[in-house]
Amino acid sequence: MSIWVRISDFVSGTAGQALGALVEQVRTVFEGDPETRARVAFSVAMIALSAKMAKADGVVTTSEVDAFREIFEIPDEEAKRVASLYNLAKQDVAGYQSYAAQLAGLCGSGQPDCPMLRDILDGLFHIAKADGVIHQKELEFLADVAAIFAISDAEFDRIRARHVDAGDADPWRVLGIAPGTPFDEARQRYRELVRDNHPDTMAARGVPAEFHAIAHERVAAINAAWDVVEPELKRA
């Protein structure tokens, strides 16, 4: 069953509640089905935080909404109900920090640099840059969310390098290795990054198949960075 059907049924069954209450409902409604709970939690996290972030620079642009739809492969018949959750998040007066904390507890492993929370942050960066630039307010938002998610400074810098610097990104930062790293160690790091973004690996940590598009750009950036550093490492 599509994750959007599950989310649509969930939203319909909890209509009229504030977003914060909906987040807590995910924990209990799907308690007996941890796999579905992980998929719905991830989806709600992305919807809620992307809606909040879209207002961070004071305006919700068409390009940001389009980027949201790029990440979320939403069937036309489910778009209206998903949009209602997105709009609920935009209109809710509660601060994004409270949602980020709730969602960190719902989606996270309790350990720093939790893979699913990194996936959420990566998706938020994708949306933030949709209008061609990540505004300072958006960057502050992302840094705040990363701190709440217990994303390390090094990991945040690596994610930021892929998105903010775009084609000019430092390949060493993208891969999270330093110049002069032994070739075998660097290659192992590269292979780990590619493996972590394989659809099977993402599915195992609760990322719905409908969202695997967020990894395409990430893997392309990782491969491009390796293409640059590999010859230099071999020469060294």
Residues 118/124/130/133 CA torsion (nearest 10 deg)? -80
- Domain residues for 220? 3-235
Residue 65 has what pLDDT? 60
Residue closest to 161 by CA, chosen among 97, 101, 217, 104: 217
Total domains present in the chain: 1
Residue closest to 106 by CA, chosen among 114, 92, 144, 9: 114
Residue 190 has what pLDDT? 95
Token output for 73: 């492969």
In the three-class reduction of DSSP (H, G, I as helix; E, B as strand; rest coil), residue 121 is classed as: helix
Angle, helices 213-235 vs 183-196, to 10°: value is 170
Please say whether the beta carbons of 45 and 103 come within 8 A.
yes
* pLDDT values of the chain reduced to their tens digit, one per residue, 236 residues: 566 677 767 666 655 556 667 777 777 777 778 777 887 888 778 888 888 887 766 655 566 566 667 676 677 777 776 777 777 777 765 678 888 888 888 787 778 899 889 988 988 888 888 777 788 888 999 999 999 999 999 999 888 988 876 555 688 988 989 888 999 999 999 999 999 888 788 878 878 776 777 777 788 889 999 999 999 998 87
Question: How much is the pTM?
Answer: 0.79
Alpha-carbon distance of 236 to 219, in angstroms, equals 25
